[in-house]
Amino acid sequence: MDQTLVSDASFSSSPILETLGEEILRILYPVSFCMFLVVLLVSALISSDNSSMSFSSIASIAYSESSSDSFWSKLSGAFLNSLLFIAVITILTFFLVLLFYLRCTPCLKSYMAFSSFVVLSFLGGEISLLLLSRFVVPIDAFSFLLLLFNFSVVGTLSVFLAKAPISLTQGYLVIIGVLVAYWFTLLPEWTTWALLISMALYDLAAVLLPVGPLRLLVELAISRDEEIPALVYEARPVDTQASGRRLWRERRNFEGNPGSVSDTLRHENLTPQTTMTITVEASDEDSASTELVAPLVSQQPRRQEIEAVEGIGLGSSGAIKLGLGDFIFYSVLVGRAALYDFMTVYACYLAIVAGLGVTLLLLAFYRKALPALPVSIAFGVLFYVLTRELLEVFVVQCSVNLLISGERKRAR
């Protein structure tokens, strides 16, 4: 058999570096809006009188924090709570990998849709009741339930079960992040900080370690060329039907067995933006010939098509994707800072944005799925401590000195 392979490859620089500013803004806007809404909810619903309110969840089942507990009791109890939470998350993620490996994708999508409906209906309904009570908005029970049901169903369908405008899907993803993040801010203070640090470390291990569950899930999806059923925010609209998958257009004009050329389709290590023409000629006795034209519309080799789950990565079209868990924990950090003062909120917000920018810059160079929590959470926690312990003391002292100086001038 005579095979002729013609390849015309064009090499180009990373498109992410060329549009890094635009990509940062497209991720920064929804992240900032999510954090802003959480701060508004915390400011409106959690006053100074009930700032210590909490609720029972799996993140606080091992230790219930009390203000009378000692420092070491709070520290050890918060560590125990976070360790238990991480263990549960790890087990569930490996179970998710197992289901995806067994091709139970409909079950995963159904579970994700049900989870979204529960968040929108129950958590959203309770927060709506708190807001209605806080601002004394009159509404009857039937109208409230009808609106809540429609809101939840439309959100579930737009995210998972039906094709909807990209702006509607993105909006509901942000709303889900806001609802979950608000309830996480009700956790005890020490448990919240321990949970944030633990989740950042877990994200680092789960995405980068060879046996990390998120890395296994991403690699499995890439090897199968499938989408991962997960709550993921995509920076810009992408047509899933033409999302950069490798498309083979086959033209046959022969009377022989077409299966003789099936082996020529297995070319994995191809360069970006390559147009490949494969001409296969049969033996002298046969007059059959086959020409395969394989435009590689993806800007990355197939092994580098990245899907983000609980990290930040590139979709097959080059669009940046951010896991909804990152939205949630960014907002939890800012919401916890809002329980203290707004100066701390500003410092934590700037730290998170700086960490997100560093992560996006690393993504532009490494072009692989990266954990989005570690850098931002590390900056946020550091700036929270520095602002609360140093900057606030400095600003208050300066303000007091200015007031004293002004009073002295008036007295003269």
Task: Compute, in degrees rounded to 10, the torsion defined by CA atoms 24, 27, 28, 33.
Answer: 170
Among the residues of 124-188, which ranges form H helices?
A: 124-135, 141-156, 166-184
Average pLDDT score over residue span 323-352: 92
pLDDT digits (tens, 9 = 90+) for 158-206: 888 767 888 888 899 999 999 999 999 988 888 899 999 999 999 999 9
Average pLDDT score over residue span 278-290: 43
pLDDT at residue 239, rounded to an integer: 42
pLDDT at residue 230, rounded to an integer: 77
pLDDT band for position 3 (50/70/90)?
A: very low
> What's the whole-number average pLDDT of the chain?
75
Nearby residues of 201 by Cβ (< 8 Å), 6 or more positions away: 374
pLDDT at residue 308, rounded to an integer: 45
Q: Considering 2, 239, 326, 341, which one is annotated as catalytic?
A: 326
Task: Compute, in degrees rounded to 10, the torsion defined by CA atoms 366, 368, 374, 376.
Answer: 70
- Residue 347 near residue 255, CB atoms below 8 Å: no
Nearby residues of 29 by Cβ (< 8 Å), 6 or more positions away: none
Residue 386 pLDDT > 80: yes
Question: What is the reported pTM?
Answer: 0.74
pLDDT band for position 370 (50/70/90)?
A: confident
Of 23 and 101, the one with more pLDDT: 101
Q: How far apart are CA 277 and CA 166, in angstroms?
A: 36
SS3 (DSSP) at 294: strand
pLDDT at residue 11, rounded to an integer: 38
pLDDT band for position 41 (50/70/90)?
A: very high
pLDDT digits (tens, 9 = 90+) for 263-272: 433 444 434 4
Q: How far apart are CA 66 and CA 256, in angstroms?
A: 79
SS3 (DSSP) at 276: strand
Of 221 and 409, the one with more pLDDT: 221
Active site (annotated) includes residue 203: yes
pLDDT at residue 228, rounded to an integer: 77
Residue 305 pLDDT > 70: no
Q: Which two tokens stand for residue 120?
A: 């929108």
Active site (annotated) includes residue 225: no
pLDDT digits (tens, 9 = 90+) for 221-246: 888 888 777 788 877 644 444 433 33
Residue 122 pLDDT > 60: yes
Of 114 and 364, the one with more pLDDT: 114
Strand partners, 278: 5, 292
Nearest Cα neighbor of 362 from 72, 14, 86, 69 is 14
Of 21 and 108, the one with more pLDDT: 108
- Residue 353 near residue 334, CB atoms below 8 Å: no
pLDDT at residue 128, rounded to an integer: 93
Residue 287 pLDDT > 90: no
pLDDT at residue 105, rounded to an integer: 85
Q: Considering 203, 263, 286, 341, which one is annotated as catalytic?
A: 203
pLDDT at residue 300, rounded to an integer: 42
Nearby residues of 76 by Cβ (< 8 Å), 6 or more positions away: 63
